[in-house]
A and B are shown apart, each in its own frame.
Chain A
Amino acid sequence: MGSIQLKSVRKAFGGVSVINGVDLDIKNGEFAVFVGPSGCGKSTLLRLIAGLEDVTSGEVLIDGKAVTDVGPAQRGLAMVFQSYALYPHMSVRNNIAFALKMAGEKTDVIERKVAKAAATLNLTDYLDRKPRQLSGGQRQRVAIGRAIVREPKAFLFDEPLSNLDASLRVQMRVEIGELHNDLKTTMIYVTHDQVEAMTMADKIVVLDKGSVAQVGTPLELYNRPNGLFVAGFIGSPKMNFIKGPSSERRGAAILGIRPEHVAVSTTAGEWPATVRLAEHLGSDTFVHAEGDGIGPLTLRLEGEAPLKPDQRIFVTPREANIHKFDTNGRRID
């Protein structure tokens, strides 16, 4: 079991409020991702759950029980740190075994569990090495191995992939996803990368300046962002925001349209624009254009679009995919 609830959790560091009253409900077995720009309080929120920081007010509940007075060692959660935080003076074997030793497990049980975790993570050949003798990806695996041997109630990941290069990051992302499928243990994963959030999460929690902006499945957030912040944060390339006559006509202060939800014509359309740059990726073409009177537009066209800088185009948003926001930046339905 590993359900986690937060009730009006606040955290201030010396008078500066960092988490401003967060309510959250993470179900057993769920893969929840905290996402938001750097400095919005993701790590702090995770550390409050872990018990590495004390809440200023509010409650953290694990399996329905308040753990405010329970230390990190007793909460039964495992954490994977951005820096891996391996014990540099211990072999891989002892790194993985440490938690079991602390729990007073018998030697043969420890051996069996370490061997199993090492096999799962392809670390069997490296058990006697020290962390400094491993590559970044292997260190990451040891950090994960250290977490899984404990059979925790939930895993907490704090930007675990941000120190890896791009291709390894994609590979590890898949491995962590598979791990979740196998173990079916609750996971809370912190990242500033919305692509990681979209690809891995059952539930995304978007944080903005210490408050929850929106909670939902990846597609809910993509299709129905509740405000400008989430609309701009989720999706890549970013959603275009348009003010002026075309939004007023549709009864909104600001109109949002994703780059992939437009039609482009060279002859006629709603927004005349000038192409600034076309990025040809083969599968898609990203077009950066300057709309007359509406500012920069990013467009994503399928396949190869034969567009060149300075060319005149006409952009028409697909009506069904238009998002409308009021003057406060909230969604209008």
Chain B
Amino acid sequence: MAMKQSPAKRVGVTVAAWLVAFLIFFPILWTFLTSFKSELDAIAMPPKFLFFNWTLENYAEVQERSNYLKYAFNSIVLSVGANFVGLLIAVPAAWAMAFAPGKRTKDLLMWMLSTKMMPAVGVLVPIYLLFRDLGLLDSLWGIGFVLMLLNLPIIIWMLYTYFKEIPVDILEAARMDGASLLNEILYVLTPMAVPGIASTMLLAIILSWNEAFWTLNLATSNAAPLTAFIASYSAPEGFFWAKLSAASTLAIAPILVLGWFSQKQLVRGLTFGAVK
């Protein structure tokens, strides 16, 4: 819909958009700035915005106290690995639901979504005990498995919506051309769905990156991702804002970079289906 807008209205909307964007972005900016302050400057009243003694000592101290790279590595392995495995399961599942639906497909989809509404604490104890008995506590495999299961309904749902948009004729043409089911999915469906798959993966990776409940409860050291790294800055010594900010900046930096370079995919992914 191309609506004619008066210039005044357009300026107004633009300003409002920037304002909202700034409000949302401000906490991140503030964290980033604080990470370069001394602890004293960090709690100074009135707050110092840009004019303070810029220092890297927080980063040095954070690195000294805890091994950032190990946590970051775990985060990357967990969020990318878990969702990649999830994707391998979700593509055939979404194919079946989109192109060969049965009577109960809609119910199945709703049921999968409903698992997302269940409070996680409800199953914490059984899962914890299972993990303990299977020796999966604090292991990348165990946590990766849980993260994969957490996102699977979302990945299947998103792929399902994308696949529904693909004309079934094209897949049937591939079948007529002698493609096996695997080839049909590999050479025809997947390449056509690349934008959808990319934005789905991006969203899923961000969700896993931010997942704190299970990672904090099931991992203590070896398999602990950046959520544990951040959490370790809250407790015993009281709050050290500047160091906490430095740790936070480090924790969100990788995902922020990933998000920055894939904005377009992300926006398309998040608004998909909303506007047609």
Contacts and interface: CB of A to CB of B under 8 A. Distances in A.
Interface of A: 50, 52, 71-74, 77-79, 81, 83, 85-89, 98-99, 102-103, 146, 150
A85 B169 CA distance: 6
Interface size for chain B: under 10, 10 to 19, 20 to 34, or 35 or more residues? 10 to 19
Contacts of B183: 102
Contacts of A85: 167, 169-170, 172-173
A74 B192 CA distance: 24
A73 B167 CA distance: 19
A89 B191 contact: yes
Given A81-B169, A88-B170, A102 B176 contact: no
Given A81-B169, A83-B167, A86-B173, 8 more contacts: A50-B176, A77-B176, A87-B170, A87-B173, A88-B170, A98-B179, A146-B177, A150-B178
B179 to A, nearest CB: 5
Nearest to A90: B191
B175 A71 contact: yes
A79 B167 contact: no
Contacts of B172: 52, 72, 79, 81, 85
A87 B176 CA distance: 13
A194 to B, nearest CB: 25
A79 B173 contact: yes
Contact of A87 (B178, B180, B188): B188
A89 B187 CA distance: 10
Contacts of B174: 87, 98
B188 to A, nearest CB: 6
7 contacts: A73-B175, A73-B180, A74-B178, A85-B172, A87-B173, A89-B191, A102-B177
Give the interface SS of chain B, mostly helix, strand, loop or mixed: helix
A83 B175 contact: no
B127 to A, nearest CB: 41
A-B residue pairs, 7 tightest by C-beta: A85-B169, A99-B177, A85-B173, A102-B178, A79-B176, A89-B191, A72-B175
A83 B180 contact: no
A99 B187 CA distance: 12
A83 B178 CA distance: 19
A310 B238 CA distance: 103
Contacts of B173: 79, 81, 85-87, 146
A86 B194 CA distance: 17
Contacts, number: 59
A37 B183 CA distance: 36
B170 A150 contact: no
B177 A150 contact: yes
Interface string B144-169: 00000000000000000000000101
Contacts of B176: 50, 52, 72-73, 77-79
A98 B175 CA distance: 11
A78 B178 CA distance: 9
Nearest to A152: B176
Contacts of B180: 73, 102
Contacts of B191: 89
Contacts of B188: 87
A145 to B, nearest CB: 12
Nearest to A101: B187
Contacts of A79: 172-173, 176
Contacts of B175: 52, 71-73
Contacts of A150: 177-178
Contact of B192 (A50, A71, A89, A102): A89
Residue from A50, A79, A87, A150 whose CB has the most chain B CB atoms within 10 Å: A87
Contacts of A74: 178
Nearest to A52: B172
A151 to B, nearest CB: 12
Nearest to B193: A89
B116 to A, nearest CB: 31
A52 B169 CA distance: 10
Interface string B179-201: 11001000110011010000000
Nearest to A76: B178
A25 to B, nearest CB: 23
B177 A98 contact: yes
B216 to A, nearest CB: 42
Nearest to B194: A89
Contact of B178 (A52, A81, A88, A103): A103
A71 B175 CA distance: 8
A121 to B, nearest CB: 17
A99 B184 CA distance: 11
Nearest to A94: B187
Nearest to A146: B177
A210 B52 CA distance: 83
A150 B188 CA distance: 18
